[in-house]
Amino acid sequence: MLQRTVRAAEAAESAGFDDVWLAEHHFMPYGVCPSAITLAGHVLGRTRRIKLGTAVSVLSTSHPVALAEQWSLLDAVSGGRLRLGVGRGGPWQDLEVFGTGLDRYETGFEESLDLLLAAATGKAGANGDHFAFREVPLVPAPRRKPDVVVACGGPKSGAIRVAAKRDLPLLLGLHAGDEEKAATVKAYGQRADHVSTVVCQVGASRDDAVATVRKSLPGWLSTGLAAHVPVDDRPGPARDPHEYTEHLCAIHPVGDPAYCVATLETSLRRTGVAHVIMFVEASGTPEGTVENITRIGTEVLPALRNRRD
């Protein structure tokens, strides 16, 4: 699985993509990447031009100063090609295993984010509810401010206020359609280069692309949803994987190249989002993923860029 991700990233660079974003999950039978920033470091070493982003590094289970150190290190050796996506994560068993606890998840995100941003200026010290230590210098010393984006669940998410207060753009989720994303951007209340996540699957026709997604995505979703184990007695995710697959096909660029271009163009206009990242692995196979990446690079991205220019 991880080698497939590396090959997909290399294919994305060859196909002309601007960036690749890597997800992070713990104790999951899918994704199998427990550290997005570690895998990003490997992919940065295997590529030369393309930028890497974490989607996301979870601040509820990692130490923000350690994350800042890793970012500064990789930023230096990659020539500034790493972008940090950060998020609160979920109320999962990760909190128990890593000892950060439910309180860190429920009340510690803002403090963690501020500590990350402070450390990225070159020095970090803390005297808060969740972190307390004497000031230390960050080594290696950062060469620039980090390019940080904050994951946001929707227009009522507390992450909107946290991000807007710090002039950090939002990372909008796969589940949301144009209307919800537009409402989230509106709630943010100021201009920013927000990032939107979509499923993009190119096929010979709309029906062909939808059929490809329907064939493999429900099984992947079913495995993933069932693997989320709450840290307490709250229920886990309850989405029906087949209904969710239909929802994703309905709101995202899943179709022939012209359909994908038109859907992306319309979505960018409706939402006010500046940047789109794509889930390209819905075929469920390494060959299908690389083929999809290649088709997006040759048949979708050039047309979309030409129209926006």
**138 and 237 share a domain?**
no
**8 and 119 share a domain?**
yes
**30 and 131 share a domain?**
yes
**140 and 263 share a domain?**
no
Q: How many folded domains does the chain comprise?
A: 2
- Whether 199 is in a domain gets the answer yes
- Whether 89 is in a domain gets the answer yes
**234 and 299 share a domain?**
yes
Q: DSSP secondary-structure letter at 192? A: -
> At residue 47, what is the residue type?
T
- Whether 265 is in a domain gets the answer yes
Report the candidate in 136, 60, 72, 138 with the shortest Cα–Cα distance to residue 99: 60
Domain boundary residue among 131, 146, 161?
146
**129 and 76 share a domain?**
yes
> Can you give the pLDDT at residue 309?
61
- Whether 94 is in a domain gets the answer yes
- Whether 164 is in a domain gets the answer no
- Tell how far CA 198 is from the center of its chain: 10
**200 and 138 share a domain?**
no
Alpha-carbon distances of 292 from 53, 185, 298, rounded to whole Å: 20, 29, 10
Distance CA 22, CA 29 (A): 16
**122 and 242 share a domain?**
no
Distance CA 74, CA 81 (A): 8
**76 and 216 share a domain?**
no
**98 and 229 share a domain?**
no
Q: Which residues contact 197 (CB under 8 A, 6 or more apart)?
A: 55, 171, 172, 173, 174, 276, 277, 278, 279
- Taken in order 129, 133, 137, 138, the sign of the CA dihedral is negative
> At residue 236, what is the residue type?
G
**CATH number, residue 228:** 3.20.20.30
Report the candidate in 177, 29, 33 with the shortest Cα–Cα distance to residue 20: 33
> Can you give the pLDDT at residue 225?
82
**111 and 248 share a domain?**
no
Alpha-carbon distances of 305 from 54, 90, 257, rounded to whole Å: 24, 35, 14
> At residue 84, what is the residue type?
L
- Whether 13 is in a domain gets the answer yes
Q: Which domain holds residue 134?
A: 1-146
- Whether 157 is in a domain gets the answer no
**28 and 102 share a domain?**
yes
Q: What is the mean pLDDT of each run of 10 residues along the chain (309 residues)?
A: 94 98 91 93 98 98 98 97 97 97 97 98 97 98 96 97 98 97 97 97 98 96 89 91 97 98 96 95 96 98 83
- Whether 236 is in a domain gets the answer yes
The backbone torsions φ and ψ at residue 34, rounded to the nearest 5 degrees and listed phi first, read -80, -10
Kindly provide the b/e burial profile for residues 113-133, where b requires at least 16 CB atoms within 10 angstroms of the residue's own CB. bbbbbbbbeeebebeeebbee
Distance CA 145, CA 190 (A): 20
